[in-house]
Amino acid sequence: MTAATVSADLPLVVSEIFGPTVQGEGPSAGRRCAFLRLGGCNLSCRWCDTPYTWDWTGRADGGIAYDAKAELRTLSQAHVLERLRAYEVDLVVISGGEPMNQQDRLPALLRELNASGQQVEIETNGTRVPSDALVASGARFNVSPKLAHSGDTARQRIVPEALRALAALPDTAFKFVCRDTGDLDEVDELVECYGFRSVWIMPEGRNPTDMGRHLASLGDEVVARGWNLTTRLHVAVWGDKRGV
């Protein structure tokens, strides 16, 4: 199949497409990949490291009000597919923002990527129930439910129906952004409530110094609780640089 076979009727709202780079977090950390970062988000985490995908009012730390017209563009799926195939990598990570806000537009693209031999991981905040079509596409979900320190209310960031649906899938990984061991108690409540199996703890931080400090404070306790520990390689290597 070719890029031209992807329906032009379902364009994507895109923040950026880039690669080759590496997946920075979770089970695939270190794998060479390309990123498709979609625009828009239904949450507003104060420490978000991609506020330029959704923050048009300056709500996140830093108080910068980004311009949606400058930051986002609507691209045909054929164009997106052509860009992603050109990187010649075997892993594509679809992130955001919140990519599941556009989940009805993704299955056709994912089928084409699979036909090219490219695996797909979808990074999501876990507030959207995945559609049957998206599940059938074969993508793996990396779910990052947000904790209280994100600044969003529990009702906004914890959607039981969505978390249960994602937890029921065989390969889902759950990643939690934490600052200190107190955050781990909040994670433990969610793990017990929803039966998460593959649990990864990663340090909050948009620069190597902050990330390293949080990582050091979390390590021993994460191991003691039987969970997995992941750094954020893109921050360790490139800091807060975009498009890497």
Buried b (16+ CB within 10 A) or exposed e, 12-48: bbbbbbebebbbbbbbbbebebbbbbbbbbbbbbebb
| Cα–Cα distance for residue pair 107/112, rounded to 1 Å | 9
Per-residue model confidence (pLDDT) at position 4: 44
Residue 177 within any structural domain of the chain = yes
Tens of each residue's pLDDT in the chain, 244 residues: 444 444 446 899 999 999 999 999 999 999 999 999 999 999 999 999 999 999 999 999 989 999 999 999 999 999 999 999 999 999 999 999 999 999 999 999 999 999 999 999 999 999 999 999 999 999 999 999 999 999 999 999 999 999 999 999 999 999 999 999 999 999 999 999 999 999 999 999 989 999 999 999 999 999 999 999 999 999 889 988 888 8
pLDDT value of residue 3: 47
CATH classification of the domain holding 21: 3.20.20.70
Judge whether 106 lies within some domain: yes
Is residue 200 included in any domain, yes or no? yes
* Domain coverage including residue 46: 3-238
Question: Does 243 map to a domain?
Answer: no
Neighbouring-strand partners of residue 122? 94, 141
- Is 42 within the bounds of a domain? yes
Residue at 20 is within a domain: yes
**Rounded (10°) angle between helices 208-224 and 181-194:** 50
Q: What is the structure's pLDDT at 243?
A: 87
Q: Do the domain assignments include residue 244?
A: no
When divided into structural domains, the chain yields a total of: 1
